[in-house]
Amino acid sequence: MLVILQIEHHTAVENIEEILSVPNIDIAFITPYDLSASMGLQGQLNHPDVLKSCQKVIEACDKFNVTPGIMTWADGIEHHLNMGFTFLLGGIDEAILYNGVKQLVDEFNEFTN
């Protein structure tokens, strides 16, 4: 069994050491879009305060021997690896869904215009 915590809110970051002190947590997984929204910085995934929060989680993971993870995207993979994340999930689900639907709509529009 793999125990993965989702760190989606700024209060989770504020309490990250207490959270990660619980035994048998394998991965602390940040969802940056949700985290940025909880900070009043919706969608600003590279805002200095969001990045600072990510770094705080990475440091706590190191302290408690928990794998730091993040939902990343094509332009963010190298950056996230360099930050110290070692568990990466590619793609933001809303963006994947949007892009797929947009492609379908564009294809239909080609034939109806």
* Domains and their CATH numbers in the chain: 4-112 (3.20.20.60)
pLDDT digits (tens, 9 = 90+) for 34-71: 999 999 999 899 999 999 999 999 999 999 999 999 99
DSSP, collapsed to helix, strand or coil, labels residue 94 as helix
Taking only the tens place, the pLDDT of each residue in 63-108 is 999 999 999 888 889 999 999 999 999 866 666 777 788 888 888 8
Contact partners, residue 51, CB within 8 Å, separation at least 6? 83
User: What is the per-residue pLDDT for 32?
Assistant: 92
Using only C-alpha atoms, what is the Rg of the chain?
17
The pTM of this model reads 0.81
